[in-house]
Amino acid sequence: MTPLTTQQLAETARTYCFPNYGDRDLAIVSGKGCRVRDAEGNEYLDFLGGIAVNSLGHCHPAVVEAIRAQAAELIHCSNLYLIDPYVRLAERLCRETGMKKAFFCNSGTEATEAAMKLARRWAANTRGDGHATIIAFEGSFHGRTYGSMSATWNKKVREGFGTALSGVRFANFNDLESVDAAWGEDVCAVLVETVQGEGGVNPASHAFLTGLRERCSRADALLMIDEIQCGMGRCGYPFAYQGGHVQPDVVLAAKALGGGLPLGGVLAGEKACDVFQPGTHGSTFGGNPVACAAALAVCDIVFDPDFLEAVGEKGCHFWGGLGGLQREFPELIKTIRGLGLMIGMELTRPGAEIVKIARRHGLLINCTADKVLRFLPPLTVEQSDIDEAVEKLHAALKEFEAQANV
Ligand SMILES: Cc1ncc(COP(=O)(O)O)c(C=O)c1O
């Protein structure tokens, strides 16, 4: 295929692609480690990492090899048959989390859908009808299909699509009193992110997660933790909730799980691991052999304790650099928060313009919840890359301030 220029791609996309991703004017054509190149050959430091997907950077040799080897053996096979990488991955993730059984799908939103269905069916089996309510939280994001979007806080995601799924009740994040106020006999599950990603990089406090665990145990409801963005080593633990020693009943994974291939997973503990019987739930592509083989390669690397320790150290190093920027731009930078290599910098003003300027300086980041610059670099990032990113961000912030003062 003759490569197209960015301009050609942009024009064709404007004509033939749904406009739901806006008017894009950057065409990424290749990547290696934490750097990508555009169609004109310009290089960027990628500190967004496919929104927490490229945890091993771009085209990590172990992932490339796993994909190559599996693709040469078997690319797809129905789940009516046993698939080696699917079964191995289920075992691997269960061992890592203390969960009992796993189900694989293709994305985060499908993992959420499956978990919501699981909770409702479990409650119907154990307590009868009338226990279908799921508590979700202000600031949450769980996906864009009907069930998951109904559990997503941002109105933009939910509005204009007709009636949302009934039986989702929102409480305030990190606020147990609000959870108590939302609770009722009808609650079958609590769905919570350990670190809210789209909501602005908000970590759940240890007391909050422990409090949710206690309430779920007391009321016989499932604690379902969405680790789709913050899991798979991102926060310095295999899954971020493990930092707080809270044992959930259900864990959701996706994004980084498949090493860049579409893969989502639901892991369930003792209570709910046998709820889905034949005919109750399934997926044609879910747990595809190539995606699962890539995931096994990812697990081998990111669950290594030394690797996880290094993620924590790199996070501290990055935090230090961002702290220096906060001291230099106190009027602009309100706070820095996050865990491991999932870091948010809350600004006093909207951050979209800074994202654009940073890109001109060769740094890819994004802005979430309007005012939070979000950093999700590959976990394989080097300290020198982090220093370079901080320098580029420094230049972008200076330019932004200079523009604002004109
Ligand atoms: C915490 C969380 N849950 C669910 C999702 C949905 O995942 P997907 O986009 O793969 O459907 C996302 C995506 O950003 C997410 O961050």
Give the ligand 1 atom nearest the CA of 264.
10
| Nearest alpha carbon, ligand 1 atom 9 | 108
CA 406 to centroid of ligand 1, rounded, Å: 39
Residues with CB under 6 A from ligand 1: 51, 107-109, 112, 141-143, 193, 197-198, 226, 228-229, 254
Residue 1 is predicted with a pLDDT of 81
Determine how β-strand 133-137 pairs with β-strand 168-171. parallel
The kind and range of the H/E element at 251 are strand 250-253
Contact 371, 405 (CB under 8 A): no
Low-confidence ranges of the chain (pLDDT < 50): none
Q: How far is ligand 1, taken at its centre, from the CA of residue 140, in Å?
A: 10
The Cα–Cα gap between 391 and 386 comes to 9
Expressed in angstroms and rounded, the spacing between residue 143 Cα and the centre of ligand 1 is 5
| Residue 51 alpha carbon, nearest atom of ligand 1 | 14
Q: Looking at ligand 1, which residue's alpha carbon is closest to its atom 8?
A: 108
Note the pLDDT of residue 362: 98
CB-count exposure of residue 263 (10 Å: 0-12, 13-18, 19+): buried
pTM of the model: 0.97
Q: How far are the Cα atoms of 58, 275, 353 from residue 278, in angstroms, in the given order?
A: 38, 10, 51
User: Cα(309)–Cα(291) distance, rounded to whole angstroms?
Assistant: 26
Question: Both tokens of residue 138?
Answer: 């202000």
Domain layout of the chain by residue ranges: 6-60+305-404, 61-302
What CATH architecture does domain 6-60+305-404 belong to?
A: Alpha-Beta Complex (3.90)
Mutate to test the pocket of ligand 1, among 137, 141, 225 (most ligand atoms within 8 A of CB): 141
The CATH architecture that domain 61-302 belongs to is: 3-Layer(aba) Sandwich (3.40)
- Decide whether 6-60+305-404 matches 61-302 in CATH topology: no
265/107 Cα distance (integer angstroms): 8
Strand 250-253 to 222-226 pairing: parallel
Q: What are phi and psi of 334, to 5 degrees?
A: -85, -50
| H/E element, 86 | helix 84-97
Cα of 141 vs centre of ligand 1, distance in Å, is 7
Closest residue to atom 7 of ligand 1, CA basis: 108
- What are 138-150's pLDDT values in tens digits? 999 999 999 999 9
Please count the other Cβ atoms lying within 10 Å of the Cβ belonging to residue 300. 13
- Edge to edge, the sheet with strand 342-347 lists 333-339, 342-347, 372-375, 366-368
Atom of ligand 1 nearest to the CA of 193: 1
Centre of ligand 1 to C-alpha 280, Å, is 23
